[in-house]
Homo-oligomer: A and B are copies of this chain.
Amino acid sequence: MRNFTCVHDIGNLKSALEKATYVKENPFADQQIGKNKTLLMIFFNSSLRTRLSTQKAGFNLGMNVIVLDINQGAWKLETERGVVMDGDKTEHILEAIPVMGSYCDIIGVRSFAQFKSKEDDYNEVILNQFIQYSGKPVISMEAATRHPLQSFADLITIEEYKKTPRPKVVLTWAPHPKPLPQAVANSFCEWMNATDYEFVITHPEGYELDEKFVGKARVEYDKEKAYKDADFIYAKNWSAYRDPNYGKVINMDKSWTVDARKMALTNNAYFMHCLPVRRNMIVTDEVIESPQSLVIPEAANRMVSAQTVLKEILKDNF
């Protein structure tokens, strides 16, 4: 594995899960692999879980870790050729990125969808510039359209808790007051579609995701039908993808909040969410505090997914 930006990078999922299990059981066993290797984590957007879990994963592997917070908007990079740079952009991406690459061995990048240009967002312009110009392996720490470290942790968690070989996993949209990217939802779809689970997506009309990510999943607009016999309910808000509403909140329908009434339709399903979660918008207190809630072990697995990915990249590139 050279870069880690989507499910396809991790290769065979069964093998990846076995590697994750090993890492989880032996967190400090591979410190020679990361010795004298430096992980540079670049945050264009703020972070709690990704920042802490990835930094700890690097430490566990014996790496040095440098964290670089780039205040969104404060560090403006020019990307075009031919521009006379007499404005607020102080550096061109063709210089900035190779220089950062020269001071580290692996680069992690967090750069959310900006909702200014759907095309730029869905072409992953910033992430791809790092891949193209840094000269080093690049890890997505949540990009514009995917959050693969989260999805890998989600998969690990489902594997740990599933009671049947092919569980029914339901991704449900849930209301939120602010426009959020589709990255977590897209990415979860991509990873679920790579398994043999029964995978269902449910959301109000108008919140259809990019078909590239929906893939073979069943889209069920009737949420009660979707919840029926589910083994895992994975909740997430996202803003509209389809034009002309890209990046907009088109409704905040509270009937989509995950609650005990709908959970009662399931096969005693586990509840999952990537966090941070707004209680009583996305999910009721009752459900998130129930024994079926996996949000804390799911977050803890972020360290496992990050460490597994870093380890494989270290093994394959150095």
Tell which of A59-67, A159-167, A195-203 binds the partner.
A59-67
B49 close to A99 (CB less than 8 A): yes
Place the interface of chain A in its size category.
35 or more
- Cβ of A155 < 8 Å from any Cβ of B? no
Q: Mark A213-235, 1 if CB is under 8 A from B, else 0.
A: 00000000000000000000000
CB within 8 Å for A91 and B300 given contacts A64-B59, A104-B56: no
- Cβ of A15 < 8 Å from any Cβ of B? no
Q: Mark A75-87, 1 if CB is under 8 A from B, else 0.
A: 0001001111111
**Interface secondary structure of A, over-half rule:** mixed
A279 close to B83 (CB less than 8 A): yes
Choose one: B38, B40, B299; the contact of A99 (CB below 8 Å): B299
Q: A40-B52, A91-B277 are in contact. List 9 more A-B contacts (CB 8 A).
A: A38-B56, A38-B59, A48-B99, A52-B100, A81-B279, A85-B281, A86-B177, A95-B276, A99-B300
Interface residues of A (CB under 8 A from B): 27-28, 36, 38, 40, 48-49, 51-53, 55-56, 59-60, 64, 66, 68, 78, 81-87, 89-92, 94-96, 98-100, 102-104, 177, 252, 275-281, 285, 288-289, 295-296, 299-300, 303
